[in-house]
Amino acid sequence: MSDQLSLDSIRSVLTRLEETIIFGLIERAQFRQNRAIYRRGEIWRELEGESLVGFLLHESEKSHAKVRRYTSPDEHPFFHDLPQPILPDLDYENPLQPNGININARIREAYEGEIIPFVCEPGDDRQWGSSSVCDVANLQNLSKRIHYGKFVAESKYRLQREQLWPLVWRGDAAALMDAITDAGVEQKVLDRVYRKTVTYAAEFEGSSCGHKINPEAVREIYRRWIIPLNKEVQVQYLLERVQD
């Protein structure tokens, strides 16, 4: 099995992403919700009809695409009109089967409409640029965490092929969801995220950085969005998986 599909490798990647996501949410929580930055056509004509966050995200992806970020199987763009890489292709093994899964539209909708109210106080502090920079990083990190479900699914498939292949063959999404779900592991993730957030947030006690993040809110974000969307990616990947 590819090193990328080993349980230790997957666990290491997801654990690092936990910390990245928590710190990103802590950064965003110091600003108000600033709803204006999510509304298309709200600010300047130079945004070409996009919201400020969408414009900044698009410009970021254009630059990243040129240095082949989106040729990596663990990266998924939010926009699809991106330039070709200016760097030569890399020769590496992609352990995933061909697939067209990209749920970034749903991730962005959930982040802007539901997650931001979880971590930020209502209102507008006019810190539009700083808030948008945080949002771009958070969206990209959430996308990577959620779409890493493809690696999880491929690893599970290779380890449990006899159990999973009949479900794939029948296209039984509900049975696949049951088969990939491990409530004990999910609870450990939720508890670990909560403990990490408590620890990291404590570093800002007594500081003047603004609103402090609620550790329970971060756990709830994982419970309501990150874990379910990751599992949805896993099921979609298995249903698209090419038989070898």
Secondary structure string (H, E, C) spanning 69-133: HHHCCCCCCCCCCCCCCCCCCCCCCCCCCCCCCCCHHHHHHHHHHHHHHHHCCCCCCCCHHHHHH
What is the 8-class DSSP label of residue 213? P
pLDDT digits (tens, 9 = 90+) for 98-107: 999 999 999 9
d(C-alpha 165, C-alpha 230), whole Å = 20
Domains along the chain with CATH numbers: 3-240 (1.10.590.10)
The residue written with tokens 């939010």 in the block is 78
d(C-alpha 71, C-alpha 96), whole Å = 13
Local structure of 11: helix, strand or coil: helix
The residue written with tokens 């949805």 in the block is 232
d(C-alpha 179, C-alpha 198), whole Å = 32
Furthest-apart CA atoms within the chain: distance in Å = 57
Q: Residue 224: how many CA atoms within 13 Å on its side-chain side? A: 11
d(C-alpha 26, C-alpha 203), whole Å = 11
d(C-alpha 151, C-alpha 139), whole Å = 19
pLDDT of residue 92: 82
- Its pTM stands at 0.93
Question: What amino acid occupies position 210?
Answer: G
Mean pLDDT, each 10-residue run in order, the chain (244 residues): 78 92 95 94 77 96 98 96 95 90 98 96 96 98 98 95 94 97 96 93 63 87 98 97 66
Neighbours of 192 (CB within 10 A): 14
